[in-house]
Structure 1
Amino acid sequence: MPHESNVFPGTDDLLRILQHNMNLMFVIRKQKGKFYCTFLSGKLKEQLKLLDIMTDSGGNIKKLDSTFLSLQKNKLIEAFTGTEITFKHQFHQHYLFTMLSPIIKDEEVIEVIGTTIDITSFKKSEQQIELMATHDILTKLPNRQKLLDDLDKTIHNNRKDKPKAIMVCDLDRLKNVNDTLGQFAGDKVITLIADRLKESTLETCPVYRLGGDEFVIVIDEHVPDLKVFAEQILQIVRQPINISDHDFYMTGTIGISYINQRACKTEDYINRASIAVHYGKVQGGNRISEYTNKMSEQYNELILLESDIRKAFKFNEFTLSYQPKVDVHTNEIVGVEALIRWEHGKKGRIPPSLFIPVAEEIGMIDQIGEWVLREACNQFVRWQESGATPVIVAVNISAIELQQPDFLPRVKQIIKETGMDPHYLEIEITENSVMQNTEECIEMMNELRAMGVSLSIDDFGTGYSSMGYLQKFPINYLKIDQSFIKELFEESGSAEIIKAMIQLGHTFGLKVVAEGVEAEKILSFIRNEKCDYYQGYFYSKPLEADLIEEKLLAFS
């Protein structure tokens, strides 16, 4: 057994041990209502820069640093009543945990021994965990849970500063960016839009990331005109985005839910704004929708429609009709446009204007587009086998299909499988779809032209293509949107616009097609302006395949 003197260290040894202790140890005495430090040791005192508050060389007690003391004064008062105290506090950049133990003699507290531990690293980890729980990692914006917590505090607690409305902004067709350039590019777009929203909104209107490509802005009373504010947000989203030398033109759809429309739960307000977004999406997107109770009913119908679209293939409910394209001067059919029709087993005919946007939203437009292209090619071959005069068959391609990496191989495969002559195939592309990813679209269009496929810009005049890009597009036809044709004799300036479009098309060496011709006087006008072809009810409504065959055989 060792001697007792070897077991218990002496005073010098104790001081050395205490000085090398990682924590802070101190002794506080109280005289005439003031606190004095009689002992201070441990490595933490150097980190906290408390060296100047030790007792002086003569052993006289010295008053504790006022800043450090002020943080503990109330705790020391309590400790000198004989109570052990533990508490957390901050001193400069350090987070500390301090324990105060009173020393009692003759039923009186004569001094308090304190031990302080630096918990800065633990505190920062705690803050990081809390940040991760309440904020989106990618954008650093507060997340859905934080949104719900914040709204609960303001909406249901009778506070005067209740928000005015909830605004959900959903990016349109971000999936195209992911499919074209990968997930990294998609994340970059989300981050950039998040930064734009943070910089452009009021400090009193916080921005949250709801998830995916959805953002939420909580609107307060400082926004006088919500529609104007929402349009400003859409303008911010529409600004060009450049990633890896690729230019993108994103759009967004905004749904608005007003707080004065009472709801049982906070989340109901968010859901209402999301319903308004979905409603705007199926109307074509790139717009603002304010929630109404009627929207909920329509939303439920759309949800059922999504299920029905998936079943339509199983029950062979989709068919094609064909709109003749007619020579303005000879009145002969020079082509047909394939138009999808859906005859629902229980609900009857459902118009494309209703189910196509829904199909785009649920990711089924590729499947529908592939079916239309294959069926149109097969029908051309059947007409040819019947001895009918071959004419060009046009198929509409959506912006989503156009930007899929496998679109071109899919077209080649269908042409090969069906035996379609590519020189009689025309692909119609809307003006806005080619502007979303211009250089890649031009490259793809050149490959289609090299195969012999014709190309046309559909709905011309409704988008935002520049003349510079229009000149680059390797297209054959320019189709004037029917909205201009129908307003020809109703709106001032429509005639001049149509004249300019026809001249523009001819300047670029294109054949021009007028859509929506329904009267003799309209046909006479476009004939005088030397328009090449037309489509519309004046000649014929869209016809079934067998009726088109009869007309084509008549020209044979």
Structure 2
Amino acid sequence: MIANRFSLFLAFTLTTLALLFSFSLQLHWNVQQQQNQLVQYADDLSSQLSSTLPVFISHNDRDAIVRIVEASLTPHVKSLTLVDLITSEQATWSGETVNTPTSSLSFATISPIERQVDLRHEGIPIASLAITVAPNKETQIAWLHAIKTLGIHAVYLFITFSIAAFFMGRQRRAIRDVAQTLTAMSDNGFLPLKTSKRSGIATLDHAMEYFGRHAQRLLQSSNSELKRLRKSMMFDAVSGLYNKQYFIHQLNSWMDEGEDTQGAVFIIQVDWLEHVYRQYGYSVRDETWRLLSHSLQDVAIQDSNACLARFGEKELAIFLPEYNDEESRKVLHAVISALNNEAVMAGFSANKDVHIGVVHAHGKSSSDMLSFADNALQHAIEKNEVFIFHQGTNEHVIAREAWRELLSEAIDKRLLRLKSQPVYTLGESASIFHREVFTQTLIEHTWHSAGRIMPYINFFSKGADLDRAIIETLIQQHHQRPIQGKVALNLSTTSLRDGAFIDWLCNVVRNTLPSEYLHFEISEASARADLNACLLFSKKMKACGVSIGIDHFGRYLESVEYLAAIKPHYVKLDQAFTQTQSSTNQLFTITLANIAESLNITVIATGVKNTALLERLDPMLIHAYQGFIHPPTPIIEDELQPQR
């Protein structure tokens, strides 16, 4: 905008200077022309009087002399002086005085002309004649001609500028329309182009349409490539189940020592599958695998977050994220029932040649979970038991209904402690991108992280109540210590679906909290579960001046078409991509980062625990990072005490 205004100002200034220069030249030429005419008049007058006066002077005919001189007096003649050289008599005549404007410009002034001639009669000087000729209206004429020429040039330039401005305005509008259309195309991403705006320039419209189609194909190609990679690299070809690589990815995504998330891992060894192979061969065994996988998926795996994978020739694994002890045991019984049904249908006995190792824990790493589950499996094999259920964490088990009461009490009494973890930009001049707010809840004199209580929050549909309590706690702390930097808060799927909560939140960000400092994060699971609710929430929050982010981006390694619809300001890559640096992980990271980059979305790496992981980040793909390399710290240092 500044460059455009400067260009217009420069063009206007140059045009004005050109007009002034043209006016000066025209005025100077007019003055010179009038000056020359005045010189010619003075010469003609002196020549005329030199030829007529000497005869009358020699005869001393005064009346004739007076008549001739007075006849010669015109408005141009300022004075005429006649001196008789014999008698030394002198006579002076003055012309009619005319007030002419003067100019301080030397080149715009017409100077008086003086002529001194000797009058001779028969070769003898008898008198001298002095004539002074001054301009009458020549100066005005010169200026009028110059002004007239200036006016004509100004009109021509005005017409030229008007025509140029019309076409330049048309081009600017065309460029603006193209820019808006291209921005809409970029924002639209994978969705069909619906814009009908045209620039008015056929060639530009054609190029824009071609670019739009090409860009759309590229974006769709990237998304298709992600789907293809997932299908080719994350599934077992025989059973149709996820493979071990995807299972480890999910385990790394959900289970982390810092997150305190609970969950269960099953490792199942089905020995009777080996008997099927020995008796009937590969084809029958593979078909049995397919039947078994369908049975387990239909009966045992009801949650979209749960993962069932084939680990080996006769091994399966199940991961149940955010499942409590009771829910995990229910799934275990359903799995045993499904395995027994398939065994009987295959001609084998129930509860024979099947061993299951189960671990339930919270706050454990993925490697610990696998190790515990494998140890439980080995114990089951040694003891010839169908299953061994191992508790990976020593804790006091709280009944489900007790959780309802404890959560209600914690929310109602605001038994919450807020912590924040900084997200730093990647590069030499690192700065804080924002601080993510984490919540701890006081349950039976113990602080529990969100990962620990979220299964119960979701089960009892208290997500909106908890989010409201967290935000009200943040408001209270904002009154004590005003928010100075950007902060990010995660919201549950329940909150995103709650219209009353969203209306309340809009009022809060408009009137209580500084909207320019707020980032609200939507998990990829929420976007998959209810995209329409996420779209509505995102639209309302952006209208209030709040930024939107996507958390756990790429957790499911599925299509990310929701990005173009939600149009977030940033995405946080799932921590599983940071934990392991396999070639497959790197390939998925590049694909996901490129998709986000093509939509002008900031990419943030998560799960960065130490300097070694930080140094592995590629600044060409990653813009910022987050992790326990910078652990969360309390926003308000005073620790909350339970209210009894």
TM interval, shorter chain, is 0.3 to 0.5
Q: Please state which structure has a larger fraction of its residues in strand.
A: 1
Higher relative contact order (CA 8 A, sep 6+): 2
Normalised TM-score (structure 2)? 0.39
Q: Please state which structure has a larger fraction of its residues in helix.
A: 2
Query: Which one has the largest radius of gyration?
Result: 2
